[in-house]
Amino acid sequence: MTALLLDVRDLRVSFPMANGMTEAVRGVSFSVAPGEAIGIVGESGSGKSVSALAVMRLVAQPGRITGGEILFEGRDLAALDEKAMRTVRGRHISMVFQDPLSSLNPAFTIGQQLVDTVRAHRPAATREAARDRAVEVLELVGITEAGRRLTSYPHEFSGGMRQRVMIALAIACEPKLLIADEPTTALDVTIQAQVVALLWQLREKLGLSVLFISHNLDLVAEICDRVYVMHTGNVVEHGDVEDIFLRPQHSYTRMLQNCIPRIEGVEPWSAAARSSTGEVAP
């Protein structure tokens, strides 16, 4: 049994509000083994994004981690100071966010941002070596003519391409774990499928572990091995993806399942039938 790559135990994150501290994450535990793709599913306010940010120690001030352990390869990230954490971020654990437009710095070319990232974690690398690596990762994420595109600015790319660039930035330093927080939510469904396929490919090629966060159960089920379902700061159910998807135990998971309109359920029906029931088919 290989050791877990990421083992989060009883994580608690709180935010000070006008009327006291509010716990956004209330004792959440999840784990990622090497090579696994784990999904965290929940709606807004479930605490899924905050949990992911907590792993990266990027919870927005004045929020704080108020309890639990975040064991990455045995080391508790929650106990690290900021300097040590910076060696982990980008190098061992990387993150991709929802909105690629605001996640990439619009004032710099993507080449500059890639090179900066590479050299931040490998200060000994020469400019040429960093540049070569930048081209390498751009090609890895499927951007053609990568060499030429190094001098392009983020706004010159479409949404889907920008997300690919973000993924390239994230894998540039060969992290072991990639956290993707709603990476496709802002994208069209056709582009979404491409990005998901890309993540799947990268898993295979690079042996990357992925922590995929989304509100879309169908999407998570497509690429993840195990799924955690979160609701108001707690994990209400977790297990193998097939179990969660086909045999949900918790009422919330069942509700999530039922609410998704799926193509398979559409039956030929006359207008009369539709107007009498007015129901959304399960």
Partner 1 sequence: MTSQREPEILLEFVKARKEFVLDDGLINRLTGKRRLLRALDDVSLTVRRGEIVGLVGESGSGKSTLAQAAVRLLTVDEGYVNYRGENLASARGGALKDFRRSVQMVFQDTGSSLNPRKTVGRALDESLALRGLARARRAERSNELLNLVGLEGVLRQRYPHQLSGGQRQRVAIARCLALEPEFLVADEPVASLDVSLQSQIIRLLLKLRNELGLTLLFISHDLALVSHISTRVAVMHAGRIVEEGPPETVLRSPSDPYTRALLAAIPKGIKGRRARRESALLSASAHKEAAE
Partner 2 sequence: MSVAEKRPLAEASHVMAALQRIWQGARLNWATTTGAVIVLVAIGAAIFAPLIAPYDPIEIAIENKLLPPSAEFWLGTDHGGRDILSRVIWGARASLTVSLLAVVIGVTGGVLIGLFAAYHSGSWVEQIVMRAIDAIASIPLLIWAIAIIGIVGVDSVDIGPFTFTNVHKLLILIGLLYMPTLARITHAVAQVEMTSDYVKARRVQGAGNLAIMFGDVLPNCLSPLIVQATLLVAIGIVVEASVSFVGLGVQPPTPSWGSMLADARNYVFSGEWWLPVFPGAAISLTVIGFNLLGDGLRDVLDPRRSTGRLLT
Binding string, 96-135, against partner 1, x = CB under 8 A?
----------------------------------------
Residue of 18, 107, 263, 271 that binds partner 2 (CB under 8 A): 18
- 148 burial type by CB count under 10 A (0-12 exposed, 13-18 middle, 19+ buried): exposed
Helix (H, G, I), strand (E, B) or coil at 268: coil
CA distance 69 to 93: 16
Structure token pair of residue 145: 């003519």
Q: Contact 40/221 with Cβ under 8 angstroms?
A: no
Min CB(224)–partner 1 separation in Å: 8
265 binds partner 1 (CB under 8 A): yes
278 binds partner 1 (CB under 8 A): yes
Number of other residues whose CB lies within 10 A of the CB of residue 199 = 21
Q: Which is nearer to partner 2, 17 or 266 (CB)?
A: 17
60 binds partner 2 (CB under 8 A): no
Min CB(120)–partner 1 separation in Å: 34
The binder of 245, among partner 1, partner 2, none, by C-beta within 5 to 8 A per type, is partner 1
Please, which residues bridge with residue 69 across strands?
Answer: 9
Binding string, 114-143, against partner 2, x = CB under 8 A?
------------------------------
What proportions of the chain, in percent to the nearest 5, are helix, strand and coil? 40, 25, 35
Q: Which is nearer to partner 2, 50 or 213 (CB)?
A: 50
Min CB(19)–partner 2 separation in Å: 7
Interface with partner 1 by CB under 8 A: which range of 1-9, 145-153, 163-171, 219-227? Answer: 219-227
Q: Which is nearer to partner 1, 57 or 231 (CB)?
A: 231
| Distance (Å) of CA 109 to CA 129, 142, 148, 159, 179 | 18, 18, 11, 16, 24
| Distance (Å) of CA 103 to CA 51, 100, 152 | 19, 5, 16
Q: Which is nearer to partner 2, 46 or 257 (CB)?
A: 46
Min CB(267)–partner 1 separation in Å: 7
Of 54, 63, 59, 1, the C-alpha closest to 29 is: 54
CB contact set of 119 (below 8 Å; sequence gap of 6+): 125, 127, 130
Residue of 2, 19, 44, 144 that binds partner 2 (CB under 8 A): 19
Residue of 58, 101, 221, 236 that binds partner 1 (CB under 8 A): 221
Number of other residues whose CB lies within 10 A of the CB of residue 111 = 21
The binder of 280, among partner 2, partner 1, none, by C-beta within 5 to 8 A per type, is partner 1
Supply φ then ψ for residue 238, to 5 degrees: -155, 160
Binding site for partner 2 (CB under 8 A): 17-19
Interacting residues toward partner 1 by CB under 8 A: 43-44, 159, 188-190, 192-193, 196, 200, 204, 215-219, 221-223, 241-242, 245-246, 255-256, 258-263, 265-268, 271, 274-276, 278-281
